[in-house]
């Protein structure tokens, strides 16, 4: 399960001070000194009991007219700092089962009930409320190719919650959690690790009942753009998809290119030929997905 970091400190940092201190050193969770430094700044930011409420009220008052922070997560998440120096800060709201927004939108809108790992490490602090619950598992990323239905040695560790004041390090590609509603509305604050290769490293959802990979959930904009460009039928897009399908360093992008080409194939026989070739392309992920695509054609 995520590593619990015990650190006590009574000092209070404003959000800007916290960001400045983290920017001065950068954030690398693989480095123990960097990790300890970041956890201390997070503890001190958490000691400011007013900053988040004040910020939300001021944003609401301004009706977002001066909202300059990047925020692409939706209403559950407030991005607190722009990415830089290997990190960004965010706050997450975790609704309770009885909250109207959860009843109205369903758990999927809040990443609840969806077992997953992360393709980034992050520090999290229980900032407000009793904290959301998670069932925690671990697995070994290096043993997984990532095809849907692939068996995984998923080891259950415990059910725990992120109580107010608790700091945990979620380890990229190792910790898996199935998040459950908080007992009442709760908020966590995260220091998210960012690095250039992150987008190409896969994040999975899991079937914890059957101990299988459910699928890859970390598809990026490049994949969506390729699918759209090929769907629009441009010759260059189709040529690019052929080249990506054959040689792209990311198996996920190769599979996306194959899916794009299959989507514009004139008939199932052509699709079958495409996927049959992919079965012997040298990638376990692509081969297994290609077989599943072929079975879906014939089934
Ligand atoms: Fe998560």
pLDDT tens, position by position, 91-134: 999 999 999 999 999 998 888 999 999 999 999 999 999 999 99
Both 141 and 242 in one domain: the answer is no
From the CA of 254, how far away is ligand 1's center (Å)? 26
Both 211 and 117 in one domain: the answer is yes
Both 173 and 294 in one domain: the answer is no
pLDDT at 124: 98
Both 229 and 210 in one domain: the answer is no
Coil, helix or strand for 224?
helix
pLDDT at 187: 98
From the CA of 72, how far away is ligand 1's center (Å)? 16
Report the CATH number that the domain containing residue 57 is assigned in CATH: 2.60.120.10
From the CA of 117, how far away is ligand 1's center (Å)? 6
Model confidence at 220, in pLDDT bands (50, 70, 90)? confident
From the CA of 114, how far away is ligand 1's center (Å)? 9
pLDDT at 53 over 70: yes
Task: State what percent of residues in the chain have pLDDT above 70.
Answer: 96
Both 155 and 275 in one domain: the answer is no
pLDDT at 48: 98
From the CA of 235, how far away is ligand 1's center (Å)? 39
pLDDT at 36 over 70: yes
Both 160 and 253 in one domain: the answer is no
CA distance 142 to 228: 32
From the CA of 168, how far away is ligand 1's center (Å)? 12
Both 133 and 244 in one domain: the answer is no
Both 155 and 175 in one domain: the answer is yes
Model confidence at 64, in pLDDT bands (50, 70, 90)? low
From the CA of 130, how far away is ligand 1's center (Å)? 18
Please state the φ and ψ torsions of residue 112, each to the nearest 5 degrees.
-90, 145
From the CA of 140, how far away is ligand 1's center (Å)? 17
User: If you compute the radius of gyration of the chain from its CA atoms, what whole number of angstroms results?
Assistant: 22
Please state the φ and ψ torsions of residue 79, each to the nearest 5 degrees.
-80, 125
pLDDT at 233 over 60: yes
pLDDT at 69: 54
pLDDT at 72: 57
pLDDT at 26: 97
pLDDT tens, position by position, 125-175: 999 999 999 999 999 999 999 999 999 999 999 999 999 999 999 999 999
The larger pLDDT score, comparing residue 61 to residue 65, is at 61
From the CA of 119, how far away is ligand 1's center (Å)? 10
From the CA of 253, how far away is ligand 1's center (Å)? 23
Both 207 and 269 in one domain: the answer is no
CA distance 120 to 264: 34
pLDDT at 76: 87
Q: Which helix (H) or strand (E) holds 19?
A: helix 15-25
Both 166 and 258 in one domain: the answer is no
Coil, helix or strand for 27?
coil
pLDDT at 41: 98
Looking at residue 65, what DSSP letter applies? T
Both 91 and 167 in one domain: the answer is yes
From the CA of 116, how far away is ligand 1's center (Å)? 6
From the CA of 281, how far away is ligand 1's center (Å)? 33
**End residue of a domain, out of 166, 198, 216:** 216
Please state the φ and ψ torsions of residue 216, each to the nearest 5 degrees.
-90, 130
Any bridge partners for residue 90, and if so which? 79, 190
pLDDT at 61: 83
Region 252-278: mean pLDDT is 97
Average predicted confidence (pLDDT) for the chain: 94
What token pair was written down for 179? 């998040």
**End residue of a domain, out of 216, 244, 271:** 216
From the CA of 297, how far away is ligand 1's center (Å)? 34
pLDDT at 38: 98
Question: At CA 146, angle to CA 93 and CA 253, rounded to 5?
Answer: 90
Number of domains into which the chain is organized? 2
Of 221, 189, 215, nearest to 203 by C-alpha is 215
From the CA of 177, how far away is ligand 1's center (Å)? 6
pLDDT at 165: 98
Give residue 164's domain range: 3-216
**End residue of a domain, out of 166, 201, 216:** 216
Task: State what percent of residues in the chain have pLDDT above 90.
Answer: 86
Both 202 and 271 in one domain: the answer is no
Widest CA span of the chain, in angstroms? 68
pLDDT at 71: 57
pLDDT at 65: 63
What token pair was written down for 181? 């509603």
């Amino acid at each position: 399960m995520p590593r619990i970091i015990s650190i006590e400190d009574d000092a209070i940092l404003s959000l800007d001070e916290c960001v400045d201190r983290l920017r001065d050193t950068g954030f690398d969770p693989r480095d123990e000194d960097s990790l300890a430094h970041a956890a201390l700044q997070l503890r001190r930011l958490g000691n400011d009991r007013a900053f988040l409420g004040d910020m939300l009220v001021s944003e609401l008052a301004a009706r977002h007219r001066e909202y300059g922070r990047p925020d692409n997560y939706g209403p559950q998440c407030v991005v607190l700092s722009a990415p830089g120096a290997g990190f960004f800060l965010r706050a997450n709201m975790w609704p309770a089962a009885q909250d109207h927004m959860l009843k109205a939108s369903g758990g999927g809108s809040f990443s609840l009930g969806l077992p997953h790992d992360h393709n980034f490490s992050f520090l999290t602090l229980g900032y407000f409320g009793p904290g959301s619950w998670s069932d925690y598992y671990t697995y070994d990323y290096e043993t997984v190719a990532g095809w849907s239905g692939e068996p995984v040695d998923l080891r259950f560790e415990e059910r725990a919650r992120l109580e107010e004041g608790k700091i945990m390090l979620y380890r990229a590609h190792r910790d898996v959690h199935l998040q459950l509603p908080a007992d009442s509305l709760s908020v966590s604050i995260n220091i998210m690790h960012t690095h250039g290769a992150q987008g190409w490293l896969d994040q999975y959802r899991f079937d914890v009942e059957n101990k299988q990979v459910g699928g890859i959930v970390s598809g990026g904009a490049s994949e969506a753009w390729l699918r759209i460009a090929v769907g629009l039928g441009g010759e260059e897009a189709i040529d690019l998809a052929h080249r990506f399908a054959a040689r792209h360093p990311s198996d996920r992008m190769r599979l996306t290119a194959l899916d794009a080409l299959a989507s514009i194939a004139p008939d199932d026989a052509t699709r079958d030929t495409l996927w049959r070739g992919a079965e012997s392309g040298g990638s376990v992920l692509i081969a297994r997905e290609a077989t599943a695509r072929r079975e879906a054609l014939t089934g």
